[in-house]
Amino acid sequence: MTLTSLLSVMASMATTVMATGLTTPFVQPSGCTSAFELTTITASPLGTPRSVKVLASDAAAPGFSSCQPSGWDTGASDDDLFTFSPAVCPQDWTYYEMSSTKDYSAAYCCASGFTFRAEGYVLPTSALMPACGRTINSGETTITAPLASRTDATGTFTQGMIVHRAWHVTWAGSDTATMSPSLPPLTSGKYLAVWKPGQGVPDGAFDHHNGDNSGVRGWNSLLYFAMIGVPIIGVAILACGGWLCIRRRRKRRARQATGNVDPQPK
C-alpha cells in the first residue's frame, strides 16, 4: 500500500462505524497459538512459483474468538477485521507503516518476529489480508496443526511460513494522553515504515509533508523555483541572445556603410 492509499483509508475511517478502543496493549491469553490451520500456498517471491507450507491464523478454529479482544470482528466485511480506534498495538508487537493526516494517525501491527506484507505470496483466504508473515527454516520448530483441506485431520509443520492477520489501529492527537505506551508525535505527513515502542524519533525525521498537507517535503521549494526561478532564467537567456543578435547586426551594418570588409586570407 502506498502512502496515498493509506491516508485515504485513514480518512474513510472517520465516517465508518466507531471501532473498539484499546488504549493499553492487549495481551493474548496463553494457549492461543493452537488457533492455526496448516495449508499449502503458491509463492513467487523471486518470480519462480513454488509450493510453501503455511501455518495460517484460522478465525474458524474453536476458541479463536476467546483469544481476541472484544470487537475484533466488528464491521461488515473482512476489511474491518482487527480494526481498533483509539488503539495501540498488542504487547511486544511492532508498528508498521505508521502515518498521519491532520486528524488521524494510523499503523499496522505485527507480532514480534513477523514482517508486514510478505511479498509474492498468495494467501489462502482474503481474511488474512493484509498479513504479517514469518519464515520458518527447517529445524527451528515442529508444530502439529489441523489441516485446512480435511476435517479432524492434522499435519506437521516444520518449515515454511506462519501468517496472521495484521491489526489496523488509529488514533487522534487528543487520544495520546490516555494511551500507553507513549507513541511518537506524528506531524501531518510523517511516515515511519517500522517503529517499536521505546524507539525515539528525532524532530523532523521521516516528514514527507511540510506539516500542513501541502505536499511532499521540499516540494514548495521546487514549486517556487519552477514558478519564479525558471521564468527569470528563461527571460535572461532570451535577453542575452537578443542583445548578441542586435550587436552582431550593428557591426554588420557599420562594415557595409564604411566599405570595411574583412580581408580574405592569402
The predicted pLDDT at position 240 comes to: 58
* Best-predicted range by mean pLDDT (61-70, 89-98, 147-156, 230-239): 89-98
Distance CA 148, CA 36 (A): 9
Q: What is the mean pLDDT of the chain?
A: 74
Dihedrals phi, psi of 227, to nearest 5 degrees: -80, -30
SS3 category, 163: strand
Q: What is the pLDDT of residues 171-191, one digit of tens each?
A: 998 898 899 998 887 777 778
Distance CA 13, CA 117 (A): 21
Distance CA 105, CA 186 (A): 7
Distance CA 188, CA 57 (A): 34
Q: In what order do the strands lie in the sheet with 105-110?
A: 20-22, 83-87, 167-171, 105-110, 94-100, 191-195
Place of cell 518476529: 113
Q: In what order do the strands lie in the sheet with 160-165?
A: 36-43, 50-57, 160-165, 131-136, 115-116
The predicted pLDDT at position 14 comes to: 37
Rounded mean pLDDT, 18-44: 81
Q: For residue 199, which amino acid is it?
A: Q
The predicted pLDDT at position 122 comes to: 65
Question: Hey, which bits of the chain come out as E strands?
Answer: 20-22, 36-43, 50-57, 83-87, 94-100, 105-110, 115-116, 131-136, 143-146, 154-157, 160-165, 167-171, 191-195
Pairing of strands 105-110, 191-195: unpaired
The H or E element containing residue 10 is helix 3-13
Distance CA 40, CA 43 (A): 9
Distance CA 183, CA 180 (A): 8
Pairing of strands 143-146, 50-57: unpaired
Q: How confident is the model at residue 64 (pLDDT cuts 50, 70, 90)?
A: confident
Dihedrals phi, psi of 98, to nearest 5 degrees: -75, 125
The predicted pLDDT at position 80 comes to: 85
pLDDT score of 154 more than 50: yes
pLDDT score of 104 more than 60: yes
pLDDT score of 256 more than 50: yes
Question: Do the beta carbons of residue 45 and residue 120 sit within 8 Å?
Answer: yes
**Which residue did the predictor score with more confidence, 178 or 262?**
178
* Best-predicted range by mean pLDDT (2-11, 101-110, 193-202): 101-110
pLDDT score of 93 more than 80: yes
Q: Where are the domains of the chain?
A: 3-195, 218-261
Pairing of strands 83-87, 167-171: parallel
SS3 category, 121: strand
Q: What is the pLDDT of residues 213-242, one digit of tens each?
A: 433 333 334 444 444 555 666 656 666 566
pLDDT score of 257 more than 70: no
pLDDT score of 107 more than 60: yes
